Amino acid sequence: MKWNEWVRDFFGGTTINLTQKIIGSTEQQLKIETFAIASAIDLIANSISKCNFKTYFKGNEFKGEDFYLWNVEPNKNQNSSQFLQELITNLLYENECLVLDINGQLIIADSFYQNEFAIVENYFTDVTSGTMSFDRSFKMSEVMYFKLGNNNIRSLLSGLIQGYDNLLDMSMTKYKKSGGRKGILDINATASGDKDFRSKLDVLMNKRFVSYFESENAVLPLENGFKYTENGGETSKKSTTEIADITAITREIFERVAQAFKIPTALLRGDIADIGATTDNFLTFCIDPLCDMLSEEANRKRFGKQAFLAGTYLKIDTTSIKHIDLFSISEPFDKLIASGGYSIDDLRIKAGDVPLNTAWSMQHVITKNYQKIETLGNEVTTTTATQ
Protein backbone atom coordinates (compact mmCIF):
# COMPACT_ATOMS: atom_id res chain seq x y z
CA MET A 1 0.00 0.00 0.00
CA LYS A 2 1.37 3.43 -0.93
CA TRP A 3 1.74 5.87 1.93
CA ASN A 4 0.31 8.72 -0.10
CA GLU A 5 -2.98 6.81 -0.07
CA TRP A 6 -2.92 7.01 3.72
CA VAL A 7 -2.30 10.73 3.83
CA ARG A 8 -4.94 12.70 1.97
CA ASP A 9 -4.20 16.17 3.20
CA PHE A 10 -0.61 17.35 3.38
CA PHE A 11 -1.56 20.73 4.77
CA GLY A 12 -3.70 19.61 7.67
CA GLY A 13 -3.27 17.39 10.72
CA THR A 14 -3.51 13.64 10.21
CA THR A 15 -4.13 10.77 12.62
CA ILE A 16 -3.17 7.18 11.73
CA ASN A 17 -4.34 4.16 13.72
CA LEU A 18 -1.57 1.58 13.94
CA THR A 19 -1.68 -2.07 14.86
CA GLN A 20 1.09 -4.62 14.84
CA LYS A 21 -0.72 -6.47 12.06
CA ILE A 22 -0.32 -3.59 9.59
CA ILE A 23 3.44 -3.76 9.59
CA GLY A 24 3.76 -7.45 10.32
CA SER A 25 4.23 -10.30 7.87
CA THR A 26 1.34 -11.61 5.82
CA GLU A 27 -0.97 -13.97 7.67
CA GLN A 28 -0.26 -17.66 7.21
CA GLN A 29 -3.09 -20.16 7.15
CA LEU A 30 -2.80 -22.95 9.68
CA LYS A 31 -3.26 -26.30 7.90
CA ILE A 32 -4.36 -28.48 10.77
CA GLU A 33 -6.17 -30.76 8.31
CA THR A 34 -2.90 -31.81 6.65
CA PHE A 35 -1.28 -32.46 10.01
CA ALA A 36 -4.22 -34.53 11.31
CA ILE A 37 -4.47 -36.69 8.15
CA ALA A 38 -0.69 -37.22 8.03
CA SER A 39 -0.70 -38.23 11.70
CA ALA A 40 -3.50 -40.75 11.12
CA ILE A 41 -1.86 -42.31 8.06
CA ASP A 42 1.56 -42.49 9.75
CA LEU A 43 -0.02 -44.26 12.74
CA ILE A 44 -1.68 -46.87 10.52
CA ALA A 45 1.35 -47.37 8.27
CA ASN A 46 3.78 -47.73 11.19
CA SER A 47 1.45 -50.21 12.89
CA ILE A 48 1.10 -52.47 9.84
CA SER A 49 4.86 -52.37 9.24
CA LYS A 50 5.24 -54.07 12.63
CA CYS A 51 3.01 -57.01 11.64
CA ASN A 52 4.47 -60.47 11.10
CA PHE A 53 3.69 -61.88 7.64
CA LYS A 54 3.44 -65.67 8.10
CA THR A 55 3.52 -68.08 5.18
CA TYR A 56 2.16 -71.63 5.25
CA PHE A 57 2.81 -74.64 3.02
CA LYS A 58 0.14 -77.36 3.09
CA GLY A 59 -1.06 -76.21 6.50
CA ASN A 60 2.36 -75.92 8.15
CA GLU A 61 4.22 -72.70 8.80
CA PHE A 62 7.00 -72.37 6.25
CA LYS A 63 9.67 -69.71 5.74
CA GLY A 64 10.38 -69.43 2.04
CA GLU A 65 10.74 -66.78 -0.66
CA ASP A 66 7.48 -64.96 0.11
CA PHE A 67 8.24 -64.92 3.81
CA TYR A 68 11.56 -63.20 3.12
CA LEU A 69 9.97 -60.71 0.69
CA TRP A 70 7.27 -59.54 3.08
CA ASN A 71 9.28 -59.60 6.33
CA VAL A 72 12.81 -58.63 5.32
CA GLU A 73 13.54 -57.41 1.78
CA PRO A 74 10.79 -56.88 -0.81
CA ASN A 75 13.20 -55.18 -3.23
CA LYS A 76 16.83 -54.06 -3.46
CA ASN A 77 16.11 -50.49 -2.37
CA GLN A 78 13.72 -51.01 0.55
CA ASN A 79 13.40 -53.13 3.65
CA SER A 80 10.01 -54.53 4.61
CA SER A 81 9.13 -51.65 6.99
CA GLN A 82 9.86 -48.98 4.38
CA PHE A 83 7.97 -50.91 1.73
CA LEU A 84 4.86 -51.44 3.87
CA GLN A 85 4.82 -47.82 5.06
CA GLU A 86 4.93 -46.61 1.45
CA LEU A 87 2.26 -49.09 0.38
CA ILE A 88 -0.18 -48.11 3.15
CA THR A 89 0.55 -44.39 2.75
CA ASN A 90 -0.18 -44.53 -1.01
CA LEU A 91 -3.29 -46.59 -0.39
CA LEU A 92 -4.73 -44.20 2.19
CA TYR A 93 -3.72 -41.00 0.38
CA GLU A 94 -4.71 -42.06 -3.14
CA ASN A 95 -7.38 -44.66 -2.26
CA GLU A 96 -5.49 -47.25 -4.34
CA CYS A 97 -2.04 -48.76 -4.74
CA LEU A 98 -0.42 -50.93 -7.43
CA VAL A 99 2.38 -53.39 -6.60
CA LEU A 100 4.39 -55.03 -9.40
CA ASP A 101 6.47 -58.20 -9.36
CA ILE A 102 9.59 -57.36 -11.39
CA ASN A 103 12.11 -60.22 -11.51
CA GLY A 104 11.16 -61.39 -8.03
CA GLN A 105 11.08 -57.90 -6.50
CA LEU A 106 7.96 -56.16 -5.19
CA ILE A 107 7.84 -52.63 -6.63
CA ILE A 108 5.24 -49.96 -5.77
CA ALA A 109 4.02 -47.96 -8.77
CA ASP A 110 4.02 -44.17 -8.40
CA SER A 111 1.46 -43.60 -11.16
CA PHE A 112 -0.63 -45.74 -13.50
CA TYR A 113 -3.82 -45.85 -15.51
CA GLN A 114 -6.31 -48.70 -15.17
CA ASN A 115 -8.31 -49.84 -18.19
CA GLU A 116 -11.49 -51.27 -16.73
CA PHE A 117 -13.86 -53.80 -18.28
CA ALA A 118 -17.02 -55.53 -17.15
CA ILE A 119 -16.09 -59.15 -17.90
CA VAL A 120 -12.60 -59.47 -19.34
CA GLU A 121 -9.47 -58.85 -17.26
CA ASN A 122 -8.50 -55.25 -16.53
CA TYR A 123 -5.01 -54.09 -17.40
CA PHE A 124 -2.73 -51.21 -16.40
CA THR A 125 -0.84 -48.83 -18.68
CA ASP A 126 1.40 -45.76 -18.26
CA VAL A 127 2.97 -47.37 -15.19
CA THR A 128 5.88 -45.52 -13.59
CA SER A 129 8.02 -46.10 -10.50
CA GLY A 130 10.66 -43.57 -9.55
CA THR A 131 12.48 -42.52 -12.70
CA MET A 132 11.47 -45.67 -14.59
CA SER A 133 8.55 -45.83 -17.02
CA PHE A 134 7.38 -49.27 -18.11
CA ASP A 135 6.69 -49.50 -21.83
CA ARG A 136 4.30 -52.41 -21.44
CA SER A 137 0.88 -53.11 -19.98
CA PHE A 138 0.24 -55.25 -16.92
CA LYS A 139 -2.74 -57.59 -16.59
CA MET A 140 -4.67 -57.61 -13.34
CA SER A 141 -3.50 -61.18 -12.71
CA GLU A 142 0.15 -60.06 -12.95
CA VAL A 143 -0.01 -57.42 -10.24
CA MET A 144 -1.37 -56.84 -6.75
CA TYR A 145 -3.91 -54.03 -6.86
CA PHE A 146 -5.29 -52.65 -3.61
CA LYS A 147 -8.27 -50.32 -3.42
CA LEU A 148 -10.10 -49.09 -0.35
CA GLY A 149 -13.53 -48.34 -1.77
CA ASN A 150 -15.48 -46.24 -4.20
CA ASN A 151 -15.06 -43.06 -2.13
CA ASN A 152 -11.73 -41.36 -1.59
CA ILE A 153 -11.56 -40.78 2.17
CA ARG A 154 -8.98 -37.99 1.94
CA SER A 155 -10.99 -36.07 -0.67
CA LEU A 156 -14.16 -36.37 1.40
CA LEU A 157 -12.28 -35.21 4.48
CA SER A 158 -10.89 -32.18 2.65
CA GLY A 159 -14.40 -31.05 1.78
CA LEU A 160 -15.67 -31.69 5.31
CA ILE A 161 -12.77 -30.02 7.10
CA GLN A 162 -12.60 -26.96 4.85
CA GLY A 163 -15.27 -25.37 7.03
CA TYR A 164 -13.26 -26.12 10.16
CA ASP A 165 -10.15 -24.60 8.55
CA ASN A 166 -12.06 -21.37 7.92
CA LEU A 167 -13.26 -21.26 11.51
CA LEU A 168 -9.76 -21.96 12.75
CA ASP A 169 -8.31 -19.15 10.63
CA MET A 170 -10.92 -16.77 12.04
CA SER A 171 -10.03 -17.81 15.60
CA MET A 172 -6.32 -17.39 14.89
CA THR A 173 -6.95 -13.92 13.46
CA LYS A 174 -9.00 -12.95 16.53
CA TYR A 175 -6.25 -14.30 18.78
CA LYS A 176 -3.56 -12.28 17.02
CA LYS A 177 -5.67 -9.14 17.11
CA SER A 178 -6.48 -9.58 20.80
CA GLY A 179 -2.78 -9.62 21.66
CA GLY A 180 -1.55 -7.17 19.04
CA ARG A 181 -0.02 -3.88 20.05
CA LYS A 182 -2.08 -0.90 19.02
CA GLY A 183 -1.42 2.80 18.95
CA ILE A 184 -2.22 6.16 17.35
CA LEU A 185 0.24 8.23 15.33
CA ASP A 186 -0.57 11.93 15.32
CA ILE A 187 0.94 14.04 12.53
CA ASN A 188 0.53 17.79 12.79
CA ALA A 189 0.22 20.20 9.86
CA THR A 190 3.86 21.28 10.08
CA ALA A 191 5.19 17.75 9.61
CA SER A 192 2.75 16.84 6.83
CA GLY A 193 3.68 19.97 4.91
CA ASP A 194 7.40 19.17 4.93
CA LYS A 195 8.84 18.49 1.46
CA ASP A 196 10.44 15.25 2.77
CA PHE A 197 7.24 14.12 4.49
CA ARG A 198 6.65 11.06 2.33
CA SER A 199 10.18 9.68 2.72
CA LYS A 200 10.17 10.34 6.48
CA LEU A 201 6.80 8.61 6.88
CA ASP A 202 7.99 5.68 4.82
CA VAL A 203 11.11 5.23 6.99
CA LEU A 204 9.05 5.55 10.15
CA MET A 205 6.39 3.03 9.13
CA ASN A 206 8.54 0.45 7.34
CA LYS A 207 11.70 0.52 9.45
CA ARG A 208 11.39 2.19 12.81
CA PHE A 209 7.95 0.86 13.75
CA VAL A 210 8.84 -2.62 12.53
CA SER A 211 11.94 -2.69 14.75
CA TYR A 212 9.99 -1.16 17.63
CA PHE A 213 7.15 -3.72 17.53
CA GLU A 214 9.41 -6.73 17.03
CA SER A 215 11.81 -5.88 19.86
CA GLU A 216 11.17 -6.88 23.45
CA ASN A 217 12.65 -3.59 24.67
CA ALA A 218 13.07 -0.64 22.32
CA VAL A 219 13.00 3.14 21.96
CA LEU A 220 11.16 4.77 19.05
CA PRO A 221 12.81 7.94 17.62
CA LEU A 222 10.28 10.39 16.10
CA GLU A 223 10.71 13.40 13.84
CA ASN A 224 9.28 16.79 14.82
CA GLY A 225 5.52 16.89 14.28
CA PHE A 226 5.04 13.13 14.90
CA LYS A 227 3.52 11.86 18.13
CA TYR A 228 2.87 8.18 18.86
CA THR A 229 0.58 7.06 21.68
CA GLU A 230 0.35 3.34 22.46
CA ASN A 231 -2.96 1.96 23.63
CA GLY A 232 -2.61 -0.26 26.69
CA GLY A 233 -5.04 -1.91 29.05
CA GLU A 234 -7.18 -4.94 28.30
CA THR A 235 -6.87 -4.61 24.51
CA SER A 236 -3.25 -5.75 24.65
CA LYS A 237 -3.99 -8.98 26.52
CA LYS A 238 -4.51 -12.38 24.95
CA SER A 239 -8.08 -13.55 25.27
CA THR A 240 -8.67 -17.02 26.72
CA THR A 241 -11.83 -17.24 24.61
CA GLU A 242 -9.85 -17.30 21.37
CA ILE A 243 -7.48 -19.92 22.79
CA ALA A 244 -10.43 -22.10 23.77
CA ASP A 245 -11.93 -21.72 20.29
CA ILE A 246 -8.68 -22.79 18.63
CA THR A 247 -8.37 -25.80 20.95
CA ALA A 248 -11.98 -26.87 20.38
CA ILE A 249 -11.76 -26.61 16.58
CA THR A 250 -8.44 -28.47 16.47
CA ARG A 251 -9.93 -31.22 18.63
CA GLU A 252 -12.98 -31.43 16.36
CA ILE A 253 -10.80 -31.79 13.24
CA PHE A 254 -8.81 -34.63 14.83
CA GLU A 255 -12.04 -36.38 15.82
CA ARG A 256 -13.41 -36.22 12.25
CA VAL A 257 -10.12 -37.55 10.81
CA ALA A 258 -9.99 -40.35 13.38
CA GLN A 259 -13.60 -41.26 12.61
CA ALA A 260 -12.88 -41.44 8.88
CA PHE A 261 -9.90 -43.76 9.30
CA LYS A 262 -11.56 -45.88 12.03
CA ILE A 263 -8.98 -44.82 14.60
CA PRO A 264 -9.99 -44.29 18.25
CA THR A 265 -9.91 -40.54 18.80
CA ALA A 266 -7.93 -40.85 22.03
CA LEU A 267 -5.22 -42.83 20.25
CA LEU A 268 -4.80 -40.25 17.48
CA ARG A 269 -4.61 -37.43 20.03
CA GLY A 270 -1.99 -39.33 22.04
CA ASP A 271 -4.08 -39.91 25.17
CA ILE A 272 -2.77 -42.79 27.30
CA ALA A 273 -5.87 -43.41 29.43
CA ASP A 274 -7.19 -46.96 28.99
CA ILE A 275 -4.62 -47.56 26.28
CA GLY A 276 -5.22 -51.33 26.24
CA ALA A 277 -8.89 -51.13 25.25
CA THR A 278 -8.14 -48.30 22.82
CA THR A 279 -5.46 -50.34 21.06
CA ASP A 280 -7.76 -53.37 20.79
CA ASN A 281 -10.39 -51.17 19.19
CA PHE A 282 -7.79 -49.79 16.78
CA LEU A 283 -6.68 -53.28 15.75
CA THR A 284 -10.22 -54.57 15.30
CA PHE A 285 -11.75 -51.79 13.24
CA CYS A 286 -8.76 -50.22 11.47
CA ILE A 287 -5.76 -52.54 11.18
CA ASP A 288 -7.44 -55.95 10.76
CA PRO A 289 -9.58 -54.93 7.72
CA LEU A 290 -6.52 -53.47 5.96
CA CYS A 291 -4.45 -56.57 6.70
CA ASP A 292 -7.28 -58.77 5.41
CA MET A 293 -7.21 -56.80 2.16
CA LEU A 294 -3.43 -57.24 1.85
CA SER A 295 -3.48 -60.97 2.57
CA GLU A 296 -6.46 -61.68 0.30
CA GLU A 297 -4.85 -59.94 -2.66
CA ALA A 298 -1.50 -61.62 -2.03
CA ASN A 299 -3.12 -65.05 -1.68
CA ARG A 300 -5.14 -64.88 -4.88
CA LYS A 301 -2.34 -63.38 -6.98
CA ARG A 302 0.83 -65.03 -5.60
CA PHE A 303 -0.57 -68.43 -4.54
CA GLY A 304 -3.83 -69.00 -6.39
CA LYS A 305 -6.94 -71.03 -5.73
CA GLN A 306 -5.50 -74.56 -5.77
CA ALA A 307 -2.57 -73.74 -3.48
CA PHE A 308 -4.78 -71.80 -1.07
CA LEU A 309 -7.29 -74.65 -0.75
CA ALA A 310 -4.40 -77.03 -0.17
CA GLY A 311 -3.21 -74.96 2.81
CA THR A 312 -0.53 -72.81 1.14
CA TYR A 313 -1.19 -69.17 1.90
CA LEU A 314 -0.09 -65.91 3.55
CA LYS A 315 -1.45 -64.77 6.90
CA ILE A 316 -0.75 -61.43 8.59
CA ASP A 317 -0.33 -61.61 12.36
CA THR A 318 -1.42 -58.29 13.86
CA THR A 319 -0.81 -59.33 17.48
CA SER A 320 2.84 -58.30 17.11
CA ILE A 321 1.73 -54.63 17.02
CA LYS A 322 1.06 -54.62 20.75
CA HIS A 323 3.98 -54.46 23.15
CA ILE A 324 4.14 -57.57 25.36
CA ASP A 325 5.30 -57.37 28.97
CA LEU A 326 6.41 -60.88 29.96
CA PHE A 327 5.71 -60.36 33.64
CA SER A 328 2.15 -59.18 33.03
CA ILE A 329 1.28 -62.13 30.77
CA SER A 330 2.96 -64.94 32.70
CA GLU A 331 -0.32 -66.17 34.17
CA PRO A 332 -2.24 -66.13 30.83
CA PHE A 333 0.69 -67.97 29.22
CA ASP A 334 0.43 -70.68 31.86
CA LYS A 335 -3.29 -71.09 31.15
CA LEU A 336 -2.69 -71.33 27.38
CA ILE A 337 -0.13 -74.10 27.90
CA ALA A 338 -2.23 -75.91 30.53
CA SER A 339 -5.26 -76.00 28.23
CA GLY A 340 -3.25 -77.51 25.36
CA GLY A 341 -3.99 -74.60 23.06
CA TYR A 342 -0.37 -73.61 22.51
CA SER A 343 3.05 -75.17 22.91
CA ILE A 344 5.95 -73.46 24.68
CA ASP A 345 7.55 -72.60 21.34
CA ASP A 346 4.28 -71.10 20.06
CA LEU A 347 4.13 -68.72 23.00
CA ARG A 348 7.83 -67.86 22.83
CA ILE A 349 7.28 -66.74 19.25
CA LYS A 350 4.22 -64.71 20.29
CA ALA A 351 6.35 -62.98 22.92
CA GLY A 352 8.99 -62.12 20.32
CA ASP A 353 11.47 -64.68 21.62
CA VAL A 354 13.34 -67.44 19.78
CA PRO A 355 11.72 -70.93 19.80
CA LEU A 356 13.70 -73.71 21.47
CA ASN A 357 12.91 -76.16 18.64
CA THR A 358 13.10 -79.18 20.92
CA ALA A 359 10.71 -82.12 21.02
CA TRP A 360 9.31 -81.21 24.42
CA SER A 361 8.98 -77.46 23.69
CA MET A 362 6.93 -78.21 20.57
CA GLN A 363 4.58 -80.61 22.35
CA HIS A 364 1.03 -79.66 23.40
CA VAL A 365 0.29 -80.69 26.98
CA ILE A 366 -2.81 -80.45 29.13
CA THR A 367 -3.24 -80.37 32.89
CA LYS A 368 -5.02 -83.22 34.67
CA ASN A 369 -7.66 -80.79 35.89
CA TYR A 370 -9.25 -80.93 32.44
CA GLN A 371 -11.44 -83.94 31.57
CA LYS A 372 -14.29 -84.85 29.28
CA ILE A 373 -17.85 -84.06 30.30
CA GLU A 374 -18.82 -87.66 29.51
CA THR A 375 -16.18 -88.95 31.95
CA LEU A 376 -17.40 -86.57 34.63
CA GLY A 377 -20.97 -87.77 34.03
CA ASN A 378 -19.97 -91.43 34.38
CA GLU A 379 -18.20 -90.70 37.67
CA VAL A 380 -21.33 -89.05 39.07
CA THR A 381 -23.48 -92.00 37.98
CA THR A 382 -21.07 -94.53 39.52
CA THR A 383 -20.94 -92.65 42.80
CA THR A 384 -24.74 -92.47 43.02
CA ALA A 385 -25.13 -96.20 42.30
CA THR A 386 -22.57 -97.11 44.98
CA GLN A 387 -24.41 -95.09 47.58
Q: What are 182-199's pLDDT values in tens digits? A: 777 777 776 676 777 788
Distance CA 161, CA 90 (A): 21
Residues 159 and 278 grouped into a single domain: yes
Query: Are 283 and 318 spatial neighbours (Cβ–Cβ below 8 Å)?
Result: yes
Residues 306 and 332 grouped into a single domain: no
Query: Which whole number is the average pLDDT over 305-315?
Result: 96
Task: Tell me if 108 is assigned to some domain.
Answer: no
Task: Tell me if 283 is assigned to some domain.
Answer: yes
Residues 42 and 72 grouped into a single domain: yes
> Which tens digit of pLDDT belongs to each residue from 35-91?
888 899 999 999 999 999 999 999 998 999 999 999 999 999 999 999 999 999 999
Residues 303 and 363 grouped into a single domain: no
Task: Tell me if 105 is assigned to some domain.
Answer: no
Residues 178 and 311 grouped into a single domain: yes
Secondary structure (DSSP) of 256-315: HHHHHTT--HHHHHT--TTHHHHHHHHIIIIIHHHHHHHHHHHIIIII-HHHHHTT-EEE
**In the prediction, which pLDDT does 2 show?**
44
Residues 288 and 331 grouped into a single domain: no
Residues 245 and 339 grouped into a single domain: no
Region of residue 143 (left: phi > 0; alpha: psi -120 to 50; beta: else)? beta
Query: Are 227 and 186 spatial neighbours (Cβ–Cβ below 8 Å)?
Result: yes
Angle, alpha carbons 288-115-92 (nearest 5°)? 30
Residues 19 and 82 grouped into a single domain: yes
Residues 328 and 214 grouped into a single domain: no
Query: Is residue 290 predicted with pLDDT exceeding 80?
Result: yes
Distance CA 323, CA 245 (A): 37
Query: Which whole number is the average pLDDT over 346-361?
Result: 82
- The secondary structure of 92-113, three-state, reads HHHCEEEEEEECCEEEECCEEE
Residues 291 and 345 grouped into a single domain: no
Task: Tell me if 8 is assigned to some domain.
Answer: yes
Please indicate, yes or no, whether the overall pTM of this predicted structure exceeds 0.85.
no
How deeply is 92 buried, as exposed, middle or buried, from its count of CB atoms within 10 A (0-12, 13-18, 19+)?
buried
Range of the domain at 78: 1-95+148-323
Task: Tell me if 158 is assigned to some domain.
Answer: yes
Distance CA 111, CA 127 (A): 6
